[in-house]
């Protein structure tokens, strides 16, 4: 695999698709690791804000760089609810099979197979992600088969390709601390070249939530709906940070 520090070729207005991996915002179905000290209803409201701000981020990239299709990949049972939430901001595609691995396989089978579209899939809880990272991911696909955005906990928040590789996401490991390592092992087995975007974090546990709150206090315009939720629930989030979990 080539180092991500190597220069990439400029984009030549090739077709690109940005896919948000999402679920319908139902209590008990989203961000469940945050419900230990926050109610399921509060967490569901938080997820709605994350998703709406992530959609706005995706749309801003489309306006900035032009030919970018925005889509949501989701479980089939969630398609109608997400279509109502997204409106005309994104097309909704129901994945084939259950779970995140099936969802990612569906992304590239649907958008990249036979089309050579540069396709990026990323998390629905990523409104704080700089748009420059998404731009970089598309650019790296000019000279790489796959691009990956690693998280600090051993997973990844973003994965992209310009062709379908059906076995790339097979097996166990999704959502674990070894998810990135397993993905890279599969890429090596398939002899795929890999580029990397900057490491980042997603919002899974309380420490992630308090980090996001601190960032958005300084720059709420990055994710205004999420910043408003965090302001409304500021006292509860502060208790998470200080360890007084009496909510």
For 76-102, the pLDDT digits (tens) are: 999 999 999 999 999 999 999 899 999
In a domain, 84, yes or no: yes
Coil, helix or strand for 73?
Answer: strand
In a domain, 238, yes or no: no
For 190-200, the pLDDT digits (tens) are: 999 999 999 99
Q: Is the pLDDT at 11 greater than 80, yes or no?
A: no
In a domain, 197, yes or no: yes
Q: Give residues with Cβ within 8 angstroms of 43, minimum separation 6.
A: 27, 30, 31, 32, 34, 35
- Compute the distance between CA of residue 31 and CA of residue 46 in angstroms, rounded to an integer: 9
- Compute the distance between CA of residue 117 and CA of residue 146 in angstroms, rounded to an integer: 12
Find the farthest-apart pair of alpha carbons in the chain and give their distance in angstroms, rounded.
Answer: 54
In a domain, 56, yes or no: yes
Averaged pLDDT for residues 100-127: 90
Residue numbers of the domain that contains 100: 16-203
Supply the mean pLDDT for the chain: 87
In a domain, 234, yes or no: no
Predicted model pTM: 0.88
Q: Is the pLDDT at 221 greater than 50, yes or no?
A: yes
Q: Give residues with Cβ within 8 angstroms of 77, minimum separation 6.
A: 24
- Compute the distance between CA of residue 34 and CA of residue 14 in angstroms, rounded to an integer: 39
In a domain, 218, yes or no: no
In a domain, 244, yes or no: no
Backbone angles phi, psi at 153, to 5 degrees: -100, 15
**CATH number reported for the structural domain that contains residue 32 in this entry:** 3.90.550.10
Nearest CA to 20 out of 54, 45, 43, 48 is that of 54
In a domain, 225, yes or no: no
166's tokens: 């059906």
Instruction: Write the DSSP string, 128-187.
Output: TS-HHHHHHHHHHTTT-SEEEEEBTTSSEEEEEESS--TTTT-SS-TTSTTHHHHHHHHH
pLDDT band at residue 168 under the 50/70/90 scheme: very high
Q: How many domains does the chain have?
A: 1
Weakest-pLDDT range from 54-63, 113-122, 221-230: 113-122
Hey, which residues does 93 pair with through a beta bridge?
73
For 31-59, the pLDDT digits (tens) are: 998 988 889 999 999 999 999 999 999 99
pLDDT band at residue 219 under the 50/70/90 scheme: very high
């Amino acid at each position: 695999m080539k180092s991500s520090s190597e220069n990439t070729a400029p984009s030549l207005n090739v077709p690109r698709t940005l896919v948000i991996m999402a679920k319908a915002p139902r209590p008990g179905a989203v961000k469940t690791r945050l419900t230990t000290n926050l109610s399921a209803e509060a967490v569901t409201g938080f997820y709605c804000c994350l998703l709406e701000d992530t959609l706005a981020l995706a749309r801003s990239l489309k306006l900035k760089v032009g030919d970018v299709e925005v889509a949501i990949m989701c479980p089939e049972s969630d398609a109608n609810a997400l279509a109502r939430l997204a409106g005309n901001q994104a097309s909704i595609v129901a994945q084939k099979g259950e779970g995140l691995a099936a969802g990612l396989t569906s992304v590239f089978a649907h958008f990249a197979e036979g089309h050579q579209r540069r396709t990026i899939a990323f998390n629905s809880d990523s409104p704080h992600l700089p748009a420059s990272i998404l731009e970089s991911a598309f650019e790296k696909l000019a000279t790489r088969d796959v691009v990956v955005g690693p998280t600090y906990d051993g997973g990844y928040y973003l994965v992209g390709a310009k062709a379908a590789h059906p076995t790339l996401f097979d097996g166990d490991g999704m959502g674990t601390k070894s998810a990135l390592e397993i993905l890279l092992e599969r890429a090596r087995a398939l002899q795929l070249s890999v580029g990397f975007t900057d490491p980042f974090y997603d919002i899974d546990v309380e420490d992630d939530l308090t980090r996001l709150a601190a960032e958005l206090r300084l720059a709420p315009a990055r994710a205004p709906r999420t910043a408003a939720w965090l302001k409304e629930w500021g006292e509860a989030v502060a208790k998470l940070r200080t360890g007084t979990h009496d909510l």
